[in-house]
Amino acid sequence: MRVLVLGGTSEATALAALLAATPGAEAIMSFAGRTRAPSSPIPLRSGGFGGAEGLWQYLEAEGIDVLVDATHPFAAQISRNAEIAAARGNIPLVILSRPGWMREPQDRWTEVPDMAAAAAAIGRETRRVFLAIGRLQLAAFEAAPQHDYLIRTIEPIAPNLPHHRIIAARGPFDVEAEERLLRDEKIDVIVAKNSGAAAVFGKIAAARRLGLPVIMVERPAEASGVGVRAAHPAEALALILGHGPRAALRGV
Ligand code: NAP
């Protein structure tokens, strides 16, 4: 059975390890190629496919039996493309999507729909802001140049913000270290995406301990309903194995 895993999350990497240990499964991991790829227990490909059409062509050319969308919950375009390509090729789609974080009573979250709303929600007065949102949407904060930003990204970057400092680091980040960082840097407010990832939950737990406000960007709307959903890698593996090779399904 040939499986293409669209990756970019720790859950995708965990699923890859399960697939590598599954006899009869030949899996390929796909990364967008924006950051240095982490090591993978299955063969890798890197870079865009050229839209939904390009992805469909790849699925056909490689004889893929099951497509897995294990991308980040904020990577909306590739998830849409996966749905379109799977529907067009009549290829089963398994969506591995971890649950979002749940607000607890002591949390001081302001939930906003997107990054522009997050920038506005910081307020007019100058504040010391911890931006842990990756690098792709930093431009939204150019609308709020009065703030002093501490920005953490995987690769170093040069944002167009007058007051900022960069920390280049890749998670996981534990709660004690996050609490120290927030205290030492005198952070007033955190901006985060509700990714649900355990590896980056430390800053949310630390904010909870310190009583700090968090501007929480909600997930983009889920795609149209093509595919079956799994919340954990083992569940995704069971769904994948439930499909079997397409040739067998067609009775070829
Ligand atoms: P996106 O906006 O949904 O996708 C933009 C384009 O990047 C896609 O149309 C596709 O290009 C290419 N692409 C995305 N994921 C790919 C993959 N796994 N393999 C091959 N091509 C891929 O995605 P994004 O938000 O830029 O995220 C890019 C990658 O980083 C994703 O794999 C995601 O899992 C990971 N990531 C994203 C975030 C986030 O907050 N967005 C956080 C952590 C990790 P073509 O149309 O040319 O095929």
Q: Are residues 63 and 27 in the same domain?
A: yes
If one residue of 64, 77, 217 were mutated to test the ligand 1 pocket, choosing by the most ligand atoms within 8 A of its CB, it would be 77
Cα torsion at 86, 89, 91, 96 (round to 10°)? -10
Q: Which bin fits 50, alpha (ψ -120 to 50), beta or left (φ > 0)?
A: left
Tell me the CA–centroid distance for residue 75 and ligand 1, in Å: 5
Q: Are residues 212 and 235 in the same domain?
A: no
Phi (first) and psi of residue 170, to 5 degrees: -115, 135
How many separate domains does the chain show? Answer: 2
Q: Which helix (H) or strand (E) holds 79?
A: helix 76-89
Can you tell me the mean pLDDT for 212-237? 91
Can you tell me the mean pLDDT for 93-116? 96
Q: Are residues 129 and 77 in the same domain?
A: no
Which residue range forms the structural domain that includes residue 131? Answer: 108-217
- Residue nearest atom 30 of ligand 1, based on CA coordinates: 8
Query: With contact defined as beta carbons under 8 Å apart, do 112 and 192 qualify?
Result: no
CATH code at position 37: 3.40.50.720
Query: With contact defined as beta carbons under 8 Å apart, do 120 and 144 qualify?
Result: yes
Q: Are residues 193 and 204 in the same domain?
A: yes
Q: Are residues 150 and 130 in the same domain?
A: yes
**Which of 32-36, 69-73, 90-94, 123-127 is predicted with the least confidence, judged by mean pLDDT?**
32-36
Q: Are residues 240 and 206 in the same domain?
A: no
**Residue closest to 193 by CA, chosen among 137, 244, 143:** 137
C-alpha 101/C-alpha 115 separation (Å) is 18
C-alpha 65/C-alpha 67 separation (Å) is 7
C-alpha 217/C-alpha 212 separation (Å) is 16
Q: Are residues 112 and 212 in the same domain?
A: yes
Can you tell me the mean pLDDT for 179-192? 98
Tell me the CA–centroid distance for residue 126 and ligand 1, in Å: 33
Query: With contact defined as beta carbons under 8 Å apart, do 28 and 59 qualify?
Result: no
Q: Are residues 91 and 9 in the same domain?
A: yes
Tell me the CA–centroid distance for residue 211 and ligand 1, in Å: 33
Can you tell me the mean pLDDT for 230-236? 96
**Which of 66-80, 89-103, 221-235 is predicted with the least confidence, judged by mean pLDDT?**
221-235
Beta-strand runs (E) in 143-233: 148-153, 164-168, 189-193, 213-217, 228-230
Which pLDDT score is estimated for 222? Answer: 77
- Residue nearest atom 23 of ligand 1, based on CA coordinates: 75
49 Cβ below 6 A of ligand 1: yes
- Cα 233 to chain centroid distance, Å, stands at 15
Q: Which pTM was predicted?
A: 0.88
Tell me the CA–centroid distance for residue 44 and ligand 1, in Å: 15
CA atoms lying within 13 Å on the CB side of residue 23: 0
- Cα 117 to chain centroid distance, Å, stands at 20
CA angle 38-34-218, nearest 5°?
A: 95
Q: Are residues 41 and 113 in the same domain?
A: no
Which pLDDT score is estimated for 251? Answer: 40
